[in-house]
Chains A and B, each alone.
Chain A
Amino acid sequence: MGILEVSNVNKRFGGLQALGDVNLDIANGTVHAIIGPNGAGKSTLLNVLVGKLTPDTGTVMFNGTSVLGRKPYEINQLGISRVFQTPEIFSDLSVFENMLIPCFAKRDGAFRLHALESIAAEKQLIEKAEQMLAEVNMADKRHMIASSLSRGDKRRLEMAMCLVQEPKLLLLDEPTAGMARADTNNTIDLLNEIHDKRDITMVIIEHDMHVVFSLAKRITVLAQGTPLVEDTPENIKGHPKVKEAYLGEAAA
């Protein structure tokens, strides 16, 4: 039994069947990639997983708990974090303040009024935040305003913000979209390092085959809202159906 089980999920937008009978079983501790051509329903599936969309039918179970009908912040509290296609960070805040907020959320839950306490008194959280910043090599940028970071650093910061909460499942929506090759490779290394170091399951949605084949342990190919095949990267590479639906198209 996997950490995340998606069964019989259907989602319709008007006349468009965005997701049709999606069944997924994501094993604990794996790196699972979901690939597919544009419009295959990858983002819709991700939005269902994080509670942004409610499917018409089907169930999504995380660690034995249903995520359907829960708000995004409740789903995060279950242990699911999400990295966005364009980094979603607190751009007016300093890098360090960006790191503090997930630390507070992890400790205090959805709301606690700390209106008169001082930040400097939270020694444990500060230490935790600084350790995480050091782990992603951003300790020297802690006083910079997040909006002035480079694109790669913003991504790095966003991942650090997710990881400091020690999620069980990390969802990544095209983590390398719009990055230069060097930045992409850095991100791949970072993700591999993260996965090696901690007990975490990753689900990656990605266009870039280079990224997918350097990270994923298992791949699901989605086409027109339905999973076509699910297999190991080696088998996916040579699969005729996949070539036809996706890789062939990319090669042409």
Chain B
Amino acid sequence: MLGLSKKDTTFLLIVIFLTLATPILLQPFPENSALAQFNAGYPDLMQRFAIFGIFAIGFNILFGLTGYLSFGHAAFLGVGSYSVVWMYKLLSYNVLPGLILAVIVSGLFALLIGYISLRRSGIYFSILTLAFAQMSFNLAYSVLTPLTNGETGLQVYTDDPQVLVSEGSPLSPHFFGIVMNESAKIDVGGWQFTFSNGYYFCAIIAILVFYLSMRIFRSPFGVMLRAIKTNQTRMNYTGLNPRPYTLAAFVISGMYAGLAGALLAAMDPLAGAERMQWTASGEVVLMTILGGAGTLMGPVLGAGFIKYFENIFSKINDNILHTWFSALPDGLEDAVVFVLHPFIGKGWHLTLGLLFMLVVIFLPGGLMEGGTRIWNAITGKNRKKKQDADHHPKPSAHVN
């Protein structure tokens, strides 16, 4: 179906189901329970899961397939956001023109940066992309103020032209009348589920681009990209020029990043220069590696994992810890809270860093490898069978 193998179609259907059911699945604890703070089913966070999922899927097309590690992808994120806000200012709050413009502009921008950066590989490529991203950040922050509104960030003012706005059109981002920040709250027993227009808009786009990346992974182009990662010498001596292939991958992943940036501005009509900072570029690298570079689902998991930590772990404070450990004797309680203090609240980066180290050291294939191992342990697929195939190939008749 849809140009995919049977296995991939099943996989895609599972992904579609999980994505659409996210508002329910991420709300496992009843509203008034002590664990309700671990619920992640509120629109703002779920939108981030979807948007950064898109960002990471695109990044994975470049990094996971070709092995070229870009440290400058946040630049495209920023370009996407600015494009959308400009469309708001000039036309109307409909997100569609902005999304289209964002993908085109970030694609062109990626073509320029990629054309120059891809003359080098390895660490030199990474440094070049980093330099470009920092240049873009500084341009947006101070030099190109008329275009980006500098440190205040670009936003819509009442005196903006907005030529397509008529009486009664929504005053916040919408898609042909479907207003992004509207949502339906449904109470079932003790649970509260929020179904937000914004999340479903992002989710449907995420599913589409996930499907697209699946097609790319399975296409001849995908095989070429993996070949480039493995052996560029053989590539050259096979009559193939690696450069256009890597450039195409770079532009595609830049367009994904631009789309993600556009969606950020579609959810919240603001665009600031800090979105282009190198920490944002580093974050998508972490997401991809944490989830499993080169796998289809890994980057999405990584993105969800990091965004969950950022939003949930950072909210735990000392008071909450005290209530958790209130059963312990006073002195011991204080000691435990004292030990845990650096890892929570503002210290969530520390926890994330430790987890990242553990994953890289023990699961080089990321969370996906962890998942596969657990799955194999449960289903009892023993490794022996696999080893046999690798090390004892069926004897073949040696004719020559």
Contact = CB atoms under 8 A, between A and B. Distances in A.
B384 interface: no
B157 interface: no
B158 interface: no
A135 B393 CA distance: 18
A118 B219 contact: yes
Interface in B187-244: 212, 215-216, 218-224, 226-227, 229-231, 233-241, 244
Contacts of B238: 73, 76, 101-102, 105, 161, 165
Contacts of A197: none
Interface in B68-84: none
Interface string A88-123: 111111000100111011100111011111111010
A22 interface: no
Contacts of B177: none
Given A100-B220, A115-B216, A137 B239 contact: no
Interface stretch (A55-63, A185-193, A239-247): A185-193
Interface in A148-205: 148, 161, 165, 186, 189-190, 193
Given A77-B239, A137-B400, A193-B400, A101 B233 contact: no
Interface in B339-392: 390-391
Interface residues of A, number: 45
B241 A90 contact: no
Contact of B223 (A119, A141, A148, A161): A119
Contacts of B139: none
A50 interface: yes
A71 interface: yes
A90 B235 CA distance: 8
B3 A190 contact: no
B115 interface: no
A93 B234 CA distance: 13
A140 B234 contact: no
Given A91-B231, A111-B244, A137-B399, A73 B223 contact: no
A90 B219 contact: no
A122 to B, nearest CB: 7
A119 B222 CA distance: 10
Most chain B beta-carbon contacts within 10 A, residue among A91, A104, A119, A137: A104
A71 B220 contact: no
A144 B390 CA distance: 7
A82 interface: yes
A20 interface: no
Contacts of A186: 398, 400
Given A92-B229, A111-B245, A97 B223 contact: yes
A10 interface: no
B223 A88 contact: no
Nearest to A83: B237
Contacts of B46: none
A2 interface: no
B394 interface: yes
Interface of A: 50, 71-73, 76-77, 81-82, 84, 88-93, 97, 100-102, 104-106, 109-111, 113-120, 122, 137, 140-141, 144, 148, 161, 165, 186, 189-190, 193
Given A77-B239, A101-B227, 4 more contacts: A72-B236, A84-B233, A90-B226, A116-B3
13 contacts: A72-B236, A82-B237, A88-B234, A90-B234, A93-B226, A97-B223, A101-B240, A105-B238, A110-B240, A115-B221, A115-B222, A137-B399, A148-B391
